[in-house]
Amino acid sequence: MDILCAIDTGVLCGVEQWFTDPAQWTGPAGIPVRLAEHAYYSVVALLVATAIAVPLGLLTGHTGVGGFLTTSLANFARALPTIGVLFLIVLLAGIGLVPVLCALVALAVPPILVNTHEGVRGVEPRLRDAALGMGMRGREVLFRLELPVAAPLVLIGMRTAAVQVVATATIAAYVGVGGLGRYIVDGQARQDLSMMLGGSILVVLLAVATTLLFAGLRRVLVAPGLRAEAASAR
């Protein structure tokens, strides 16, 4: 049964026992519930961030207005320490799910925004010229040309944001919400190394699953012509 414990009686065995304990898989502190909480926070934060950043990026990219501001903001955001942002927002707004979600959204907006903006700006001028010359109006140029061509970069921005949100949602357990980070925080508090490591492994799995999900989304949402073009351009 305990395969790892057969070869190693230390850390790995403890982690295996933690995972194989049936109590771990039920109840409000069980893995399914924690996983669902973590996924819930991440999905909500990502959706809200997307709803803010994609339209804004399309607007700045399409019009060219505010482009410098957008890229500067994104560069600045990249340098921000995530835990600083999270703790500051929670400190100012109070403990609770909403402040945590606000922090997650704040961290997820910049990569999506800058990639959407850059994706639209990156559409070759001759394509825009052809679109206008054929009689497309601004909105048609945006939705029939710029958005589909920018889609790969938008998705990459969303993936970067999603990975960051999953990671930061883990840290959010320090400010009292649920999710997989609870195992790490509670494990630290109880000096339970197996629990900390088990939680870490679950976070890794969720992050990798997120990356795979975006690889799948790319296949669905990006036109085959663009995917192949990117590949042949290599």
Partner 1 sequence: MNAAWDWAAGVLDWAVANWSYPGEPDRGILPRLLEHMRLSYAPILLGLLVALPLGLACARWKRLYPPVLTGVNVLYAVPSIALFFLMLPYTGFSDWTAIVPLTVYTLVILLPNVVDGLRQVPEHVRQAAVAMGFGPLRRLVFVETPVAVPVIIAGLRVASVATISMVSVASLIGLGGLGRLILSEGFRRQFDAPIVVGIVLTVLLAFVTDAVLVLAQRLLTPWARRDGGVGGGRGIRARRRRRRAAAAVPAEDAAVAADLTTTAGER
Partner 2 sequence: MITFEGAAKHYPDGTVAVAGLDLTVETGRTTVFVGPSGSGKTTSLRMINRMVEPTSGTVRIDGDDIRGQDPAVLRRSIGYVIQQAGLFPHRTVLDNIATVPLLLGWRRGRARARAAELMDLVGLEPSQGRRYPHQLSGGQQQRVGVARALAADPPVLLMDEPFSAVDPVVRASLQDELLRLQKELRKTIVFVTHDIDEAVRLGDRIAVFRPGGVLAQYDAPERLLAAPVDDFVESFIGYDRGVRRLSFFPARNLTLDDGGVFEEEDRVERARTAVEATGVPWALVVARDRTPLGWVSARQLAEAPTGVVLGGLDLAPYGHTFNVATDSLRAALDAAVLSPAGRAVGVDEDGCVVGFVSQDDLGAAIWSVSE
Give dist(CA 114, CA 70) in Å, integer. 6
Cβ-based nearer residue to partner 1, 135 or 232:
232
Q: Is 4 in the site for partner 1 (CB under 8 A)?
A: no
Give dist(CA 97, CA 119) in Å, integer. 33
Residue 137 touches which of partner 1, partner 2, none (Cβ within 5-8 Å per kind): partner 2
CB 82 within 8 A of CB 72: no
Amino acid at 35: L
Q: Is 163 in the site for partner 1 (CB under 8 A)?
A: yes
Give dist(CA 103, CA 54) in Å, integer. 18
DSSP 3-state of 225? helix
Give dist(CA 103, CA 123) in Å, integer. 32
Both structure tokens of 66: 């505010």
CB 158 within 8 A of CB 145: no
Residue selected from 57, 61, 99, 152 as contacting partner 1 according to rule CB under 8 A:
152
Q: Tell me which residues in 50-89 interact with partner 1 (CB under 8 A).
A: 71-72, 74-76, 78-85, 87-88
Q: Is 134 in the site for partner 2 (CB under 8 A)?
A: yes
Q: Is 167 in the site for partner 2 (CB under 8 A)?
A: no
Both structure tokens of 216: 């799948």
Shortest distance (Å) from residue 178 CB to partner 1: 16
DSSP 3-state of 65? coil
Q: Is 219 in the site for partner 2 (CB under 8 A)?
A: no
**Helix ranges, the chain (H):** 3-7, 11-20, 31-63, 67-79, 82-93, 97-121, 125-133, 138-140, 147-171, 181-189, 193-221, 224-232
Stretch that binds partner 2, among 111-119, 122-130, 173-181, 211-219 (CB under 8 A): 122-130
Shortest distance (Å) from residue 135 CB to partner 1: 27
Residue selected from 31, 54, 120, 145 as contacting partner 2 according to rule CB under 8 A:
145
Residue 76 touches which of partner 2, partner 1, none (Cβ within 5-8 Å per kind): partner 1
Give dist(CA 168, CA 83) in Å, integer. 8
Q: Is 92 in the site for partner 2 (CB under 8 A)?
A: no
Give dist(CA 53, CA 232) in Å, integer. 30
Q: Is 192 in the site for partner 2 (CB under 8 A)?
A: no
Judged by the rule CB under 8 A, the positions of this chain that interact with partner 1 are 10-11, 71-72, 74-76, 78-85, 87-88, 90-92, 111, 114-115, 118, 121-122, 152-153, 155-157, 159-160, 163, 166-167, 170-171, 174-175, 181, 184, 188, 193, 196-197, 199-201, 203-204, 207-208, 210-211, 214-215, 218-219, 227-231, 233-234
Residues in contact with partner 2 by the rule CB under 8 A: 124, 126-127, 129-137, 140, 144-145, 148-149, 151, 223-226, 228-229, 232
